[in-house]
Structure 1
């Protein structure tokens, strides 16, 4: 079974995954949404970390360290960032973090990644502007986006057929670039919220 959801708050995501396990759906993969396998219900303890690794060896050592401590690595890769663990043994405690600072640090790493991704799109936005791919005149006179000869002189069925046929192409020509500022805004929002969660978790008392 696949489910598509998005979380910034790791603790809410952990509780949701635990509830899914309690309903008999166990996390298998997170590459394209959440992929679950139907098995018997289980009261699971699931924790999430956020880490990226440059070397595969470092990622393997990271997973092995948790395996040795009684935490099975459920999903995540060396470059995915999100790492999912399930408690499997009689380990001391129900958390993979030893203190609030290390627990909060995952939000800081996620925030830093979000801000870096937002900044990485800025040069592309500048290039699009300098090469006239971004045309602000389209907001003032969207008729310029339509290339069908004599479109605006047509009437009735002929007009509506031509207009509706070309509108998707016109929108692509005029506003396809808008995904870049929207992406930048989303990443900045993710970074802001993650940094806020970082500060909240850092100040929480055990």
Structure 2
């Protein structure tokens, strides 16, 4: 079974993946373009997501080896600062952050991940819209650059509109991704502070 879905919030992505696994599937592949390949299985599986900043090849192998020792299979990720996907048969020891320190560190990394995403899309917006974020987010027409498009009528309008819409989405959607990433970073930071207070 193939599924395609895009996420900015890792917590929501992890929940969505585990909901699919609960239906009797195991995840076999995760692509960088939001593609997921699932296969039926008789075993109950669990997936956990982690975000790690860039690390050396030696540290990365050590990182993967630690989880492999506890039965986790590495589905996707790299040492260059990316989301790491881990899967294993459910056995009651299904958390990869088992102590206070690791949970706090995870939410700190998650905040960094969301802020990095927001910064990248902010730069993209500044280049396209000269820094006018609200125009990028709420003025859909500003994303359509065909001269005279909104004065066209009939079939000519629809041909031009449908042709440019995919390109307009590349201009319009990044502004919303930026906004969502900011919200996710604030939420992650809230969880980071909350966990830190709980275990202080």
Bigger radius of gyration: 1
Q: What SS does the aligned partner of 2:43 have?
A: coil
| Post-superposition CA distance 1:117-151 (Å, at most 9, x none) | 21233334333345xxxx99xx6x98994448xx9
Unaligned runs of 5+ in 2: none
Q: Is the 8 A contact 1:50 1:107 kept in 2?
A: no
- The aligned counterpart of 1:34 is 36
- The aligned counterpart of 1:13 is 14
| Post-superposition CA distance 1:61-86 (Å, at most 9, x none) | 21112222x22224121143233142
TM-score (norm 1): 0.66
Q: CA deviation at 1:160?
A: 0.9
Q: CA deviation at 1:175?
A: 7.4
Residues 1:177 and 2:179 aligned together: no
How far apart, CA to CA, are the structure 1 residues paired with 2:171 and 2:161?
16
Unaligned runs of 5+ in 1: none
Give matches, 1:1-206, under 5 Å. 1-5=1-5, 6=7, 8=9, 10=11, 13=14, 17=18, 20-31=20-31, 32-39=34-41, 41-68=42-69, 70-78=70-78, 79=80, 80-86=82-88, 93-129=93-129, 145-147=146-148, 159-169=153-163, 177-204=171-198
Q: CA deviation at 1:169?
A: 4.9
Q: Is the 8 A contact 2:30 2:37 kept in 1?
A: yes
Instruction: Figure out how many residues of one structure are paired with residues of the other and give that number.
Output: 189
How far apart, CA to CA, are the structure 2 residues paired with 1:110 and 1:100?
15
